[in-house]
């Protein structure tokens, strides 16, 4: 392989390629939904994998993953895409591609499990995963206490977290449980996975926070199954 080609590939992978891939996936999903009944149509949302508790109890566990790629209406897609791009531009370079992808996807699942446990509404959107990224900035602020740039970033996102949580409390259309589940999941995961070349050896701390995340996921799944009435499925 030529040197120029190698350098182009290296430069490409220095960009937030995971962020770009996530954006492409959710845009493609939105286009398909738009031409297949509309992204606000309940039947279409169910068809493409929105979170719906009874179907999850029946075994469609993948509905804990697919909702983070679906959006209800163009404004919903636009807002979450802008936030994802902004967060990804900053965080993917800090965590690395694989860690960033892991935090995004797993915290999104944790958020959807929290929604499954405490909300019986049909839901979709990247917000659970985005709040996971917000949670990771809290971890960065605690880990890099003497880095002014990271401290400023953590403070800025901290304000956004507070604003979004307050809006969630007073708005019935916002899945507050999903947001808080994603936020906590992202914080635990970011601590467990940590960043490349951390300042301090955090092996024990990583194991503890990773265990907390696993316990949280299991507890939320159990609560969700308990809270979904079996009578719903009786003929």
Fill in the DSSP letter of residue 73: S
CB atoms within 10 A of CB 221: 16
Cα(44)–Cα(42) distance, rounded to whole angstroms? 5
Q: Is 71 a catalytic residue?
A: no
Pairwise CA distance, residues 93 & 204, whole Å: 25
Other Cβ atoms within 10 Å of 152 Cβ, number: 11
Cα–Cα separations (whole angstroms), residue 56 to 42, 170, 185, 203:
16, 28, 20, 35
How far apart, in Å, do the first and last CA atoms of the chain sit?
64
Q: How many CB atoms lie within 10 A of CB 194?
A: 21
Catalytic residue among 39, 107, 136, 179: 179
Is 127 labeled as catalytic in the residue annotation? yes
Q: Which of 107, 127, 136, 194 is catalytic?
A: 127
Q: Which residues are catalytic?
A: 127, 179
């Amino acid at each position: 392989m030529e040197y120029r080609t190698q350098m182009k590939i290296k430069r490409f992978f220095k960009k937030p390629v995971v962020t770009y891939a996530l954006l492409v996936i959710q845009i493609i999903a939105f286009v398909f939904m738009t031409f297949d009944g509309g992204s606000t149509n309940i039947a279409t949302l169910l068809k493409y994998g929105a979170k719906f508790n009874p179907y999850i109890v029946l075994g469609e566990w993948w509905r804990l993953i697919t909702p983070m790629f679906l959006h209800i209406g163009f404004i919903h897609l636009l807002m979450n895409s802008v936030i994802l791009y902004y967060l990804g531009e900053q965080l993917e370079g800090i965590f690395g591609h694989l860690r960033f992808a892991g935090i995004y996807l797993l915290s999104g699942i944790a958020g959807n499990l929290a929604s499954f446990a405490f909300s019986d509404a049909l839901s979709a959107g990247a917000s659970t995963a985005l709040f996971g990224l917000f949670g990771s900035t809290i971890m960065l602020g605690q880990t890099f206490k003497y880095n002014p740039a990271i401290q400023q970033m953590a403070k800025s996102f901290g304000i956004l977290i507070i604003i979004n949580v307050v809006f969630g409390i007073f708005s019935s259309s916002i899945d507050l449980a999903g947001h808080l589940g994603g936020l906590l999941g992202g914080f635990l995961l970011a601590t467990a996975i940590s960043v490349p070349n951390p300042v301090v050896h955090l092996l024990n701390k990583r194991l503890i926070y990773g265990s907390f995340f696993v316990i949280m996921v299991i507890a939320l799944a159990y609560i969700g199954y308990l809270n979904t009435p079996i009578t719903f499925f009786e003929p």
